[in-house]
A and B are shown apart, each in its own frame.
Chain A
Amino acid sequence: MTAIPDTARPARRIPLRGLNFAIAIFVVLYAGIAVLQPNYLEAALFMNFLRRAAPLAILACGQLYVILSGGFDLSMGAVVTLVVLAASMLIGGDPEMSWPVIGALYAMGLAVGLANGAIVAFLKVPSIIATLGTMLLVNGLALAWSGGAPRGDLPDNFRNLGRLVLRDVPLVGTLPVAVIILAVATLLMGWGLHRTAYGRRLLAVGDNPRAAELAGVPVKPTRISAFVVSALAAVTAGILIGGFSGVSVNAGRGLELQAIAACVIGGAQLLGGRGSVVGALFGALSLFALFTLLNLLGLPQALRDSLQGVILIAAVGASVLRHRRST
């Protein structure tokens, strides 16, 4: 069978192709920020930029797993909202409850991921519909549970995960806890995707599920696991967002689409088969750099939204064109 050498190709090709295109896009956008506001080149402000972009970057890496398996996960934003609201209500301001509740949040994420995966793998519902359903379900649950207005409070030890900045760290000066979590999460997800047999199976499933099945890849468990990774990434991002800015019923709104956009900017092919964690990471950073740049430019809102659309299309277009030429 040709499935194995075929799917091993992307992993081998990445070093040959050199830098991911999203890195270039990010550098250009960040240079734009630096031109407007030179102090963004200081380590402290760059770290702060990373702290704010961390949730989106983690979401993008999780979303990448699902995209590579040939699907979409639209329920991520809803999971983020659920996590923020549930954390606040379950912890209720008691610092001793933070760690047990974080465990419970991951269990919730696991349940959502398994449900998404099972619906897609066993009921053969297209993932875009299945996860749209779970998105509505989870959003509805979160709203019903909180009664539309968040209760409870997040204690400082929970908030610190997304908010605390360690000072006087050698080399970088300041180091936000969120950036450490971002590094650990991306390393884990990058290792899982690019350095394990599991990662190759995932790519095979997304590339050609029939061929993968014939080659003996357990297609259903692989699909389900991708949704689980995505949901767990959403829980992590939710914890960081809740930590960064506190309880809000709007915490996760629209994040799923931003995560998908980040993956595409990072060179992931929709419907599966190609993509990398480095790409998703820099895709997310590019997207966040774009938001920051437009903030700094101080344009009126209407113009800003249109400009954001134009730049997004250009970035995605450039990324797709580049891949078409190279394959």
Chain B
Amino acid sequence: MQVRSILAVTLAVAFSTAAYAQEFNDPAEFKKQRELLSTKAEGPEGKPWEQHLGGAMVDTAKFKKDGPHTICFSNAGVFNPWRVVGLNNMKGEAALQKDRIKELVILDAEGKDDKQISDIQSLLDGGKCDVLVVSPTTTAALTPAVEAACEKLPVIVFDRGVNTKCPVTYIHPVGGYGFGITSAEFIASKLPKGANVLAIRIVPGVDVLETRYSAAKSIFDEAGLNVIGSEFTGSDRAKTKSVVEDYINRGQKIDAVWMDAGDTATAALEAFEDAGLPYPVISGEDQQDFLRKWQKEKLVAIAPSYPTYQWRTPIIAALDILDGKPVPGPEWNLPQPAITQETLASYIDERMPALHYSLCGCQDLPGYPEQWGGK
């Protein structure tokens, strides 16, 4: 009896993880993002936050209004360094355009759907806003609130999307599949068939992270690389280092480490240092500490990004919309560059803190580098 119930539970758990995996493996989206990665960007050279990859333009003449404007922003939260840097970018862009902006009102939903729904409601009720920018906590839960807002004023959504086409535009970089494709293709290009890859991930079940892994996994499978493990570390450096040490101690050679986010990449590398082993091929992200280590230790590495400069774009879009200028939409695909050996040196800034995201596009903004924690 006991054995049977244990078996049943095991099967249930196994199937539930399988169900998870399917949801985040959409071949059509994979193909679309792969194409976007090689699409030539339109827009001003050297300012990727103003560029877009293909797509249509939407007419915004009906929203034309005299300035200065009040821009309202309902933020999902600032619960990780990525969002900290992003919010600074947005404030920096607003400071740059301060003569056209009366006020930038920001409400922080602290990662809670219900708080964000009431935040949006209170921004609408306040009647001060000329335009609403939303970075949703989750897609489905925020859809009705965004739809309600669309009836009163122009809405811009960025980062995560919503299940409605009513916003004027939805701003986002290529996406999670793109991140996985860039990093995994680099690793596959550096290793022979049959080499071993260890995947280090943050948490299961988060769409933007699962798609990164599912894309990378299919490329590794295609290239004949073995994924010897896929481990979750909760962004904890000590756990990351311990997990990698355990894999090293298994005696299996680790030829590459693939990461779905780079904040613990240097901890993973330290496990190899402490064991006296050569560094593996590694994909991290655009954090300063990883880039510095890459340069110092001459790693074979790549830093794909989910660029934080996308936080500048909503302010630019908001002002264009209120000027009645057409903007890319209903989807605004931003370029999603990766830092490679060739471009590495230009992204390292010793003044910046360890977890500063280098593709912030913030170097020309007022208050840099102090506002971003730099010296």
Q: Which residues of A contact B266 (CB under 8 A)?
A: 246
CB distance from B265 to the nearest CB of A (A): 11
Contact of A298 with B80 at beta-carbon distance under 8 Å, contacts A37-B250, A149-B356 already known = no
| A294, B263: Cα distance in complex, Å | 24
User: For A43, what are the chain B residues with a Cβ–Cβ distance below 8 Å?
Assistant: none
B274 contacts A165, C-beta separation under 8 Å: yes
Does B225 sit within 8 A of A, measured CB to CB?
A: no
Q: How far is the CA of A249 from the CA of B235 in the complex (A)?
A: 9
Among B65-73, B142-150, B240-248, B326-334, the stretch that binds chain A is B240-248
B84 touches A245 (CB 8 A): no
- Contact among B81, B264, B270 with A148 in the assembled complex (CB-CB below 8 Å): B81
Q: What interface size band does chain A fall in? A: 35 or more
A165 to B238 CA separation, bound complex (whole angstroms): 16
Name the interface residues of A131-152: CB closer than 8 Å to any CB of B: 147-152
Residue contact B237 to A245, C-beta cutoff 8 Å: yes
**B367 proximal to A (CB < 8 A):** no
Q: Which A-chain residue is minimally distant from B88 (CB atoms)?
A: A147
Indicate if the CB atoms of A302 and B16 lie closer than 8 Å.
yes
| B174 CB to nearest chain A CB (Å) | 24
The answer on a CB contact under 8 Å between A149 and B243 is: no
Among A48, A148, A249, point to the contact of B245 (Cβ < 8 A).
A48
Instruction: List residues of chain B with CB within 8 A of the CB of A152.
Output: 353-354
CA of A253 to CA of B355 in the docked complex: distance in angstroms?
19
CA distance A163 to B266 in the complex (A): 14
Mask for B331-375, Cβ within 8 A of A = 1, else 0?
000000000000000000000011110000000000000000100
Among A45, A147, A149, A245, the residue within 8 A (CB) of B240 is: A245
Complex interface: chain A residues within 8 A of B236 (CB): 248, 250-251, 253
Choose one: B10, B81, B270, B373; the contact of A245 (CB below 8 Å): B270
* Contacting residues, chain A, for B9 (C-beta < 8 A): 306
**Would you list which residues of chain B between 1 and 55 have a CB under 8 Å from chain A?**
9-10, 13-14, 16-17
Instruction: Find B204's partner among A48, A245, A301 (CB 8 Å cutoff).
Output: A301
Interface majority SS (helix, strand, loop, mixed), chain B? helix
Residues of chain A within 8 A (CB-CB) of B373 are: 147, 149, 151
Determine whether the beta carbon of B10 is less than 8 Å from that of A303: yes
Instruction: State whether A246 touches B249 (Cβ < 8 A).
Output: no
Tell me whether A45 and B13 are in contact (CB under 8 A): no
Chain A: CB-nearest residue to B356: A149
Residue of B nearest to A240 (CB): B238
Q: Which residues of B contact A245 (CB under 8 A)?
A: 237-238, 240-241, 267, 270
A48, A247, A251, A295 pick with most chain B CB within 10 angstroms: A295
Closest B residue to A45 by beta carbon equals: B249
Residues of chain A from 212 to 256 with CB closer than 8 A to chain B in the complex: 241, 244-251, 253
Per-residue A-contact encoding for B59-90, CB less than 8 Å = 1, 0 else: 00000000000000000001111011100000
Name the B residues within 8 Å of A300 (CB-CB). Answer: 13-14, 17
By a CB distance below 8 angstroms, the chain A residues around B238 are 52, 55, 241, 244-245, 248, 251
| Across-interface contacts of B242 in A (CB, < 8 A) | 52, 291-292, 295
Decide if A94 is an interface residue (CB 8 Å cutoff): no
CA–CA, A298 and B231, complex, Å? 9
Instruction: Find out whether the CB atom of B237 lies under 8 angstroms from the CB atom of A246.
Output: yes
With an 8 A cutoff between CB atoms, is B234 at the interface?
A: yes
Report how many residues on chain B are interfacial, defined by Cβ distance under 8 Å. Answer: 42
Cβ distance B28 to chain A, nearest Cβ, rounded Å? 27
B231 neighbours in A (Cβ, 8 Å): 295, 301
How near does chain A come to B116, taking the closest CB pair, in angstroms? Answer: 18
CB distance from B308 to the nearest CB of A (A): 11
- Chain B residues lying within 8 Å of A150, measured Cβ to Cβ, are 81, 353-355
Closest chain-A Cβ to B52's Cβ sits at a distance in Å of: 29
> In the complex, which residue of chain A has the Cβ closest to the Cβ of B267?
A245
- Tell me, yes or no, whether B232 is within 8 Å of chain A by CB: yes
Chain B residue contacts of A303, Cβ below 8 A: 10, 13-14
A40 within 8 A of B: yes
Shortest A280–chain B CB gap in Å is: 20
Could you tell me which residues of chain A, from 147 to 194, have a CB within 8 Å of some CB in chain B? 147-153, 163, 165
Chain B residues closer than 8 Å to A39, beta-carbon distance: 249, 251
Tell me which residues across on chain B come within 8 A of A14, comparing CB atoms.
none
The contact string, 1 if C-beta is below 8 Å from chain A, for chain B 174-207, is: 0000000000000000000000000000001000
Contact partners of B204 in chain A: CB under 8 A: 301-302
Minimum CB distance partner of B10 in chain A: A303
Are A296 and B250 in contact, with the CB atoms below 8 A? yes
Collect the chain A residues with CB atoms within 8 Å of residue B229's CB. Answer: 298
Chain A residues closer than 8 Å to B83, beta-carbon distance: 148
Q: In the assembly, what is the distance between CA of A44 and CA of B270, in Å?
A: 17
Q: A149-B84, A246-B270 are in contact. Are A251 and B237 (CB under 8 A)?
A: yes
A296 partner, pick from B78, B246, B270, B354, beta carbons under 8 A: B246
Given contacts A149-B81, A163-B274, A245-B241, 14 further A-B contacts (CB under 8 A): A45-B249, A52-B245, A147-B373, A148-B80, A149-B353, A149-B355, A245-B240, A245-B267, A246-B266, A248-B237, A295-B243, A296-B246, A301-B204, A302-B204
- Provide 6 A-B residue pairs closer than 8 Å at the C-beta atoms, listed in order of the A residue: A40-B249, A148-B80, A149-B84, A149-B356, A244-B241, A250-B235
Residues on A lying within 8 angstroms of B by beta carbon are 37, 39-40, 45, 48, 52, 55, 147-153, 163, 165, 241, 244-251, 253, 291-292, 295-296, 298, 300-303, 306
Interface residues, chain B, with chain A CB atoms under 8 Å away = 9-10, 13-14, 16-17, 78-81, 83-85, 204, 229, 231-232, 234-238, 240-243, 245-246, 249-251, 263-264, 266-267, 270, 274, 353-356, 373
- A-B interface, 4 closest residue pairs, ranked by CB to CB distance from nearest: A149-B81, A245-B237, A151-B353, A248-B237
